[in-house]
Amino acid sequence: MPDESSLSPLSPLIKSLRTAVDAAPDDVPLRLHLAQLMLDAGRAQEAIAQVAAALQREPGNTEAQALIARAVAPPVAPAAPVAPAPVHAPMPAAPPEAAVEAEAEAEAEAEAGAEAEAAVETAVTVETTAAVEAVDAAEAAAPGSGAAYDWRSAESELSEVVPPRFVQTPPEQQAPHQPQETRQTPVRHLPLAADGQDTGDDGSLWEVETGTLTLADVGGMHEVKERLEAAFLAPMRNPELRRLYGKSLRGGLLMYGPPGCGKTYIARAVAGELGARFMSVSISDVLDMWIGNSERNLRQLFETARRNAPCVLFLDEIDALGAKRSQVRHSGMRNTVNQLLTELDGVHAGNDGVFVLAATNHPWDVDTALRRPGRLDRMLLVLPPDQSAREGIIHHHLKERPVAGIDLGKLAKRTDGYSGADLQHLCESAAERALMDSVRSGQARMINMADLLGALDQVRPSTGPWFASARNVAQFANEGGAYDELLAYLKRRKML
């Protein structure tokens, strides 16, 4: 294999293809074309790396398998070039005294020519034999021929080049866990219109997004999905039944739980599930330094949501916008809370088609008037993902990275109590370890199980401090049974 110093410089075509592959890494035909050009240019190692990346995206690509077999095959020595027969110019007539000497030189040249012809015939015979053997091997491996290609042998030869991305723990080594509900493939529905006309609001200052995520993209959270299905999704999909039973589309849901467990993510998935519009609001979008502007911002926000119904309005960190008025010392902030209560369920508030989702890490700091029926009438605890959900989250964060031999079951078992954000940070830390190792060695490598286990020793779950604070509230401030769900979870985990 030639070293880097002996390789010819890259052609402009290969450089352009490299840039195109970096811009579109999932374009497998383009990557295979680049690998073939690199292989023709004598850069076998670079070609193998490109083909390996293509096989990670399409493991059954026959063109990639043929290229990798060609790249790892031993080079065939080229046949000796045929020397052209020497052309002799006519010799002038030799003088009588040099006749014997000229005759001797002619005989020597004839013997040399005969030896050269014999060498050429031998080289041609060897080259012809090698070509015939190559054709026979290709015909034997061709589809429909008598002999099939030995894929098992090829897989063993290429096991070091393209290792398996994910492995599975044997069932006898897996820890028993509670069976999860069978997840059915959700049916995607076309966007539904509200009862009134949808006029849109192109001139609004508020950004109205169209949801692309669905509940199928959210791992676990079965209880949260069931609550959303009953409160908003099922009535939207069945307008006749909704009118029959008098179910309105107004109302809201307050999600609370440890940070990083997917409250914002599931709010976007609700909008994408129905093709409804999505509006995300934070404290900086509403609060203003001038008295009266915060209330005006809230009114414009809800007017925009009503014009864009069906719309999912997501109020993040609701404890900042709807704090307990008994704890607020500034009159401007008290007026903002009052305006929020009026917009949610006031005399003139027509919020049909507007479903309000709110999220907080401190539900005990939210004003009690916000949690009455007709406003945020239901509270839902969003807990850290279970084992099956953790497997899905880790797979989601590793599927676009070069990985090999990852045991998702083992990782899910060892990450009990980790939030979704913790699992994402775990994958980032493992990728960082592999990257730094590649920088030090000068050769890129796959992310393996050792990288993830090493990162697992450093990344700790971030949900512990929240449960420590919530434990006191669940035990001593559970007025009206608002935190019964949290209390039951703490007892199951023996955290009381």
Residue 102, SS3 per DSSP: helix
Q: Of 338, 354, 381, which closes a domain?
A: 381
Per the CB < 8 A criterion, the answer to whether 279 and 314 are in contact is yes
Q: Provide DSSP, 239-307.
A: HHHHHHHT--S--EEEEE-STTSSHHHHHHHHHHHHT-EEEEE-HHHH--SSTTHHHHHHHHHHHHHHH
Percentage of the residues of the chain whose pLDDT score is greater than 70: 69
Clarify whether residues 257 and 355 are in a common domain.
yes
- Return the residue matching tokens 């929240």: 466
**What is the helix (H) or strand (E) element at residue 318, kind and residue range?**
helix 318-321
Q: Of 441, 456, 471, which closes a domain?
A: 456
Considering the domain boundaries, does residue 193 fall inside one?
Answer: no
Q: What is the pLDDT of residue 11?
A: 82
Instruction: State pTM to two decimals.
Output: 0.59
Query: Between 98 and 332, whose confidence is greater?
Result: 332
Burial class (CB in 10 A: 0-12, 13-18, 19+), 95: exposed
Q: What is the largest CA-CA distance in the chain?
A: 136
Ranges 107-121, 259-273, 310-324: which has the least confidence: 107-121
Per the CB < 8 A criterion, the answer to whether 169 and 410 are in contact is yes
Clarify whether residues 368 and 401 are in a common domain.
no
Residue 10 has pLDDT above 90, yes or no: no
Q: What is the pLDDT of residue 188?
A: 42
Question: Which region, left, alpha or beta, applies to residue 104 given φ > 0 means left and ψ of -120 to 50 means alpha?
Answer: alpha
Cα-to-chain-centroid distance, residue 474: 37
Clarify whether residues 331 and 447 are in a common domain.
no
Residue 257 has pLDDT above 70, yes or no: yes
Q: What is the pLDDT of residue 84?
A: 52
Considering the domain boundaries, does residue 259 fall inside one?
Answer: yes
pLDDT digits over 75-91, tens only?
A: 555 554 555 545 444 44
The CATH number of residue 406's host domain is: 1.10.8.60
Its domain, for residue 266, covers 209-381
- Return the residue matching tokens 């294999």: 1
Considering the domain boundaries, does residue 201 fall inside one?
Answer: no
Clarify whether residues 376 and 398 are in a common domain.
no
Structural domain total, the chain: 4
Clarify whether residues 404 and 354 are in a common domain.
no
**What is the helix (H) or strand (E) element at residue 132, kind and residue range?**
helix 99-141
Clarify whether residues 38 and 113 are in a common domain.
no
Ranges 210-219, 395-404, 438-447: which has the least confidence: 210-219
The CATH number of residue 41's host domain is: 1.25.40.10
Clarify whether residues 134 and 214 are in a common domain.
no
Clarify whether residues 294 and 243 are in a common domain.
yes
Contacts of residue 413, defined as CB under 8 A and 6 or more positions apart, other chains included, come to 174, 175, 387
Per the CB < 8 A criterion, the answer to whether 359 and 256 are in contact is yes
Query: What's the N-to-C CA distance of the chain in angstroms?
Result: 65
Considering the domain boundaries, does residue 194 fall inside one?
Answer: no
